[in-house]
């Protein structure tokens, strides 16, 4: 059986790895000149770590230690107990540079399965794909081409979340985990392997605003926040700071499947990052799709199973992500933020460690052992 995966990001590569374990021949089409992890860092919750384990992929994950939620001046709002988190969730919270995760997944695939500079120009529901460089007839097409997927109906629009995001990676040994809130703003700090630190900022502004000098803009708005935030901004070259408005899929899809096409990751359920589950849900999609293809006797039955198992869960996580932003870092009303912070200050650190256990407790289905290479 032949599968074409459109998109060489986390979800697409993971799907390709899983399908190969199930015995499929896979071709990954990536329109960029090379497959690389565009972005900065990513948090991997236990549900995503279990997916990597099932896929047989070992990535350089950084275990996160105790941290907490603070205000912009560094005053504690609530703590976070890493040991309690691991007890309740089954595994620790981890982080990884997106580049390292993509590289790890790509290395799990034979080089000949990956075609770069291959922009898809035509797709049909019967499995036909035309791209710059050739055409293929597949038994399955995996649409993992991101939030602006060409595989969705043009009426299925994305919606601006209300926040823009800045992201970067700085080298700063000894920087601890932290999240800080102010009215309409959040700054997160996640240690990565090798003493690098991933930081992100979400900020409530109008869509489309683009500062001419990103470093000056960030220093103006966030230079008076507590340590180590100003130092992280200073240590990140301006040309390496990413800036994107945060969008999500406003109307949930009624199906993740059309003909022989399966939508996966942001193409199926783009969500804002306020629960840290975007990449995690893409990994879940990949494993469930590969499992369905290895257990059902027809592609259509497998696609139906994939849609039934993934749509309800991933769309709930997407809704919860939107809501988490509204009551958390996107809250701007001064009275509401004061009340929220007061309630959080009364919450014990061990109790905050339970948050998200319903999502992170998900366990992936098993996949077949890796299929050995074919001999002539």
pLDDT digits (tens, 9 = 90+) for 270-318: 999 999 999 999 999 999 999 999 999 999 999 999 999 999 999 999 9
- Joined tokens for residue 31: 């329109």
The vertex-275 CA angle with 347 and 85, nearest 5°, equals 50
**Distance, CA of 36 to chain centre:** 15
| Rounded-to-integer distance, Cα 323 and Cα 278, Å | 15
The position carrying tokens 């995760």 is 101
Distance from C-alpha of 56 to C-alpha of 50, rounded to nearest angstrom: 10
- Condensed to tens digits (0 to 9), the pLDDT of residues 323-341 reads 999 999 999 999 999 999 9
pTM, 2 dp: 0.95
Residue that has been written with the tokens 């002539």 in this structure: 376
Distance CA 375, CA 53 (A): 27
Q: Quick one: pLDDT at residue 38?
A: 73
Q: 270 to each of 152, 184, 220, 321, how far by Cα in Å? A: 12, 21, 31, 10
Q: 240, 214, 254: which is closest to 41 by C-alpha?
A: 240
Confidence of residue 370 (pLDDT cuts 50, 70, 90): low
Q: Reduced to 3 states, what is the DSSP secondary structure of residue 236? A: coil
Contact between 275 and 320 under an 8 Å Cβ cutoff? The reply is: yes
């Amino acid at each position: 059986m032949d599968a074409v995966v459109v998109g060489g990001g986390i979800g697409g590569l993971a799907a390709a790895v899983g399908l190969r374990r199930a015995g499929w021949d896979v071709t990954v089409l990536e329109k960029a000149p090379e497959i690389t992890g565009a972005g900065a860092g990513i948090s991997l919750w236990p549900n995503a770590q279990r997916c990597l384990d099932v896929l047989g992929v070992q990535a350089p994950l950084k275990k996160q230690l105790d941290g907490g939620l603070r205000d912009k001046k560094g005053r504690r709002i609530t703590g976070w107990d890493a040991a309690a988190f691991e007890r309740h969730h089954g595994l620790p919270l981890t982080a990884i540079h997106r580049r390292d995760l993509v590289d790890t997944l790509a290395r799990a695939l034979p080089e000949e399965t990956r075609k770069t500079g291959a922009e898809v120009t035509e797709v049909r529901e019967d499995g036909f794909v035309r791209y710059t460089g050739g055409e293929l007839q597949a038994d399955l097409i995996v649409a993992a081409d991101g939030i602006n997927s060409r595989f969705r109906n043009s009426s299925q629009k994305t919606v601006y979340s209300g926040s823009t995001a800045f992201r970067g990676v700085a080298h700063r040994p000894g920087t601890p985990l932290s999240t800080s809130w102010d009215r309409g703003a959040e700054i997160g700090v996640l240690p990565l392997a090798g003493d690098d630190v991933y930081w992100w900022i979400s900020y409530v502004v109008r869509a489309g605003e683009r500062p001419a000098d990103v470093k000056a803009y960030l220093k103006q708005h966030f230079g008076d926040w507590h340590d180590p935030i100003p130092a992280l901004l200073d240590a990140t070259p301006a040309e390496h700071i990413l800036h994107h408005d945060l969008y999500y899929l406003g109307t949930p899809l009624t199906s993740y499947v059309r003909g022989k096409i399966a939508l996966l990751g942001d193409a199926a359920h783009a969500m804002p990052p306020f629960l840290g589950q975007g990449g995690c849900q893409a990994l879940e999609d990949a494993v469930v799709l590969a499992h369905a293809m290895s257990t059902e006797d027809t592609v259509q039955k497998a696609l139906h199973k994939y849609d039934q198992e993934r749509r309800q869960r991933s769309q709930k996580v997407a809704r919860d992500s939107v809501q988490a932003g509204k009551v958390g870092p996107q809250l701007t009303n001064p009275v509401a933020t004061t009340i929220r912070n007061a309630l959080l200050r009364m919450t014990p650190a061990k109790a905050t460690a339970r948050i998200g256990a319903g999502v992170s407790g998900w366990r992936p289905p098993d996949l077949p052992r890796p299929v050995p290479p074919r001999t002539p």
